[in-house]
Amino acid sequence: MPITTSAKKALRSSARKRVYNLARKDNVTNALKQFKKLIAEKNKEEAKKALSLVYKALDKASKSGLLKKNTVSRKKSRLALSLKRLA
């Protein structure tokens, strides 16, 4: 348990951030699962719509520092390529 005042505050802060980050991470994971499911079903039109949701989730994760910028860029590139190969 933290003893100093600043350590107590850091604990409260990290607890709040943890909840926020878990929610953001779940959002990314769910969006990716949905997109990959549509790709597996070869449903191109729905996958295009889902791709924009995945992009949105990844960009927000990057903006908040949950994922690094280049990681997000790589994921987006590979997802777009998987949609392109579906044709």
User: Which tens digit of pLDDT belongs to each residue from 2-50?
Assistant: 999 999 999 999 999 999 999 999 999 999 999 999 999 999 999 999 9
For residue 87, pLDDT over 90 is answered with no
Residue 81's domain comprises 5-86
Residue 75, sorted as left (phi over 0), alpha (psi -120 to 50) or beta, turns out to be alpha
The pTM (predicted TM-score) of the whole model is 0.87
pLDDT digits (tens, 9 = 90+) for 53-65: 999 999 999 999 9
* CATH number for the domain that contains residue 70: 1.20.58.110
pLDDT confidence band for 1 (50 / 70 / 90) = confident
Number of domains, the chain: 1
| Residues shown for the chain | 87
What is the rounded average pLDDT of the residues 49-78? 96
CA distances (Å), 52 to each of 43, 48, 57, 76, 85, in order? 15, 7, 9, 10, 17
